Amino acid sequence: MTEEYDVEFVERTDREARFLVRGVTPAFANGIRRAMLADVPTMAIDTVRFVENSSVMFDEQLALRLGLVPLTTPPVGEFVEDDTVTLSIDVEGPATAYSGDLVSSDDLVQPADDNVPIIDLKDDQRLEAEADTVLERGKGHAKHQGAVAAGYRHLQRVEVVDDVPEFEDEQSQIVRGVIEDDGELIPTSEFDHDLSNRYPGKEIELEDVPNAFVFHVETDGSFPVEEIVTRAADTIEARATELEEAVQL
Amino acid sequence: MSYKCSRCKRDVQLDEYGGVRCPYCGHRVLLKERSRDVKEVDAQ
């Protein structure tokens, strides 16, 4: 990897972001992507104790559903892997049990969304349960995966080469991702992913910008996008350090 | 073991002599009630 690298945000919200990284190798870009998916520890429900479940679904099915509810993950250092936090739920029908009905014993670990339906309860049905959460990695189970959609594309540079010949029909040229035009970054969604909308009557050449990647990351609400990227980078560093120590003679 | 008669909905205690039959209405279909203990399940 080159010494100098540079990060620039294209779009940025709490749960979803698109950013450009320059000066990294494809191997490093893919390493970051994989680390975001598999190596960032995230809180999720792991064991459920059912006190009462008179709903139409089996305990095991409900436990699986509860396990997949995204939970906010506490800052680094507050918890270590395998620490537990207990959540409880008590809903009586007729009502729908939502993730928002989960009551946590710790403010740092809460359901990330309040509106994930768990089960619809009819008259005289009741769900009462207690659930233990653990901090684990996406490697072990997809419920511990903080990034639900993480990927990257090459940044593409656009160059106007020529005009389209007078009697030739204009062809649409579809491109997805982010393009660079005179140093300006433009998401392709701005021109409906079709270069002929942005450069009508022009002949265009596209080329990948070497070592520049546009990441698109979406989190499940466990933490903000910046957090998951930096934590992913930290896990890579930790593993690299571990390897370095292991091969010392 | 506690069961519930599917016809008269009354709680039934079964013993080894009476066979599978509701002592109140004679119905032979009994439903087993869910046990009251807390059940622990892995969300895996």
pLDDT tens digit sequence for A18-50: 999 998 999 999 999 999 999 998 999 999 999
More confident residue, B14 or A187: A187
Residues of chain A with CATH 3.30.1360.10: 6-40+147-236
Domains of chain B as residue ranges with CATH: 1-33 (2.20.28.30)
Q: What is the mean pLDDT of residues A187-203?
A: 87
| Of the candidates A59, A2, A62, the residue with the CA atom closest to the CA atom of residue A29 | A2
Using CA atoms of B18, B20, B22, B23 in order, give the dihedral in degrees to the nearest 10: 0
- Rounded CA gap, A216 and A18, in Å? 4
Interface of B with A (CB under 8 A): 34, 38-44
What's the topology of domain A6-40+147-236?
Gyrase A; domain 2 (3.30.1360)
pLDDT tens digit sequence for A104-139: 988 888 999 999 999 999 998 999 999 999 888 889
ipTM, 2 dp: 0.71
The residue with tokens 């946590």 is A104
Chain B CB contacts of A51 below 8 Å: 38
pLDDT tens digit sequence for A150-180: 999 999 998 888 888 888 887 888 888 888 8
Q: What is the mean pLDDT of residues A226-233?
A: 90
Chain A CB contacts of B9 below 8 Å: none
* C-beta of residue A109 within 8 angstroms of C-beta of residue A72: yes
Architecture of A43-137 per CATH? Beta Complex (2.170)
Q: Where are the alpha helices (DSSP H) in A59-198?
A: 59-67, 195-198
CB–CB of A143 and B34 under 8 A?
no
Which of B38, B42, B44 shows the shortest C-beta gap to A50?
A: B38
- Rounded CA gap, A85 and A135, in Å? 9
pLDDT tens digit sequence for A52-101: 999 999 999 999 999 999 999 888 777 776 678 899 999 997 999 999 99
